[in-house]
Structure 1
Amino acid sequence: MEHELLLKRVYEPCEPQDGYRILVDRLWPRGIKKEAAQLDEWAKEITPSTEIRRLYHQGDMPFEGFSQAYLEELESNEASETFVSNCSEQLKSQNVTLVYGAKNEQENHAMVLREWLKRKIAGGQYVAR
């Protein structure tokens, strides 16, 4: 069976097909209780730095610039290797859902992270959707 690497807003209900749920935000999402989020992990160490996050949200950095800066941070982040390894291991037995709180579902850091993660997991048995 193939397992998927999924994206989902934290405000959407948890579903069995989510599999292993990882919150990929540095800050805890507003209005969500920890029990309601039903998370398996909170990977705040691989999130964008406060500096680039603020620049993007204030409109001082376009999404393309933000994406590039975040990818550079991921490549130099010591926690990235462990994160990739954990996701790869989880995908062997279940879906992995990257959970985020951003309102914008078309341009956000979780999308950048998922694409980067897909490239890092070489030869994995999953379908990215």
Structure 2
Amino acid sequence: MAFEVAVKRVYETHDKADGQRVLVDRIWPRGVSKTDAELTLWLKEIAPSDELRKWFGHEPERWAEFQKRYRAELDANGEAVAQLRGLLREGKLTLLYGAHDEAHNNAVALAAYLRDA
């Protein structure tokens, strides 16, 4: 069974095709109201630790190491990962994030992790 996981900036317009919308950042994004976000869930617990997030700082040269460290955190975060996998079994899941960098962020890394599992 193939799982459909998408990634989208929380600032982009909501679309019915998004399926279940889950914000995967630990910090609420600036300038977005909770109503406008139209979330299924805000799963703060799945976000990288503050220590890892601050170390990474969205610096592309740290991307490979960030993914490795984040995967280790996810492996140790069974409850939050199971919650996402449960939502995935119900249909399409869109992981939302607030970062400016669309290629190097925790939602991209998390989507890859879920697809690989």
Q: Distance in 2 between matches of 1:3 and 1:75?
A: 19
More helix by share: 2
* Residue identity opposite 1:38 in structure 2: E
3-state SS of 2:71 partner: helix
The TM-score normalised by the length of structure 1 is: 0.81
Q: Which residue in the other structure is 1:12 paired with?
A: 12
Q: Which runs of structure 2 are paired with 1:1-129 in the superposition (5 Å)?
A: 4-57=4-57, 62-91=62-91, 95-120=92-117
Q: Distance in 1 between matches of 2:3 and 2:78?
A: 26
Which runs of no fewer than 5 residues in structure 2 stay unpaired? none
Mark the structure with the bigger radius of gyration: 1
3-state SS of 2:90 partner: helix
Shift of 1:4: 2.6
The TM-score normalised by the length of structure 2 is: 0.89
Shift of 1:88: 2.8
Q: What do residues 79-100 of structure 1 show as CA deviations (whole Å, max 9, x unaligned)?
A: 2442243233222xxx210011
The percent identity for this pair of structures is 37
Mean CA deviation greater in 103-112 or 77-86: 77-86
Q: Distance in 1 between matches of 2:84 and 2:23?
A: 14
Q: 1:3 and 1:15, CA in 2 relative to 1: closer, same or farther beyond 3 A?
A: farther
* Residue identity opposite 2:23 in structure 1: L
* Residue identity opposite 1:110 in structure 2: A
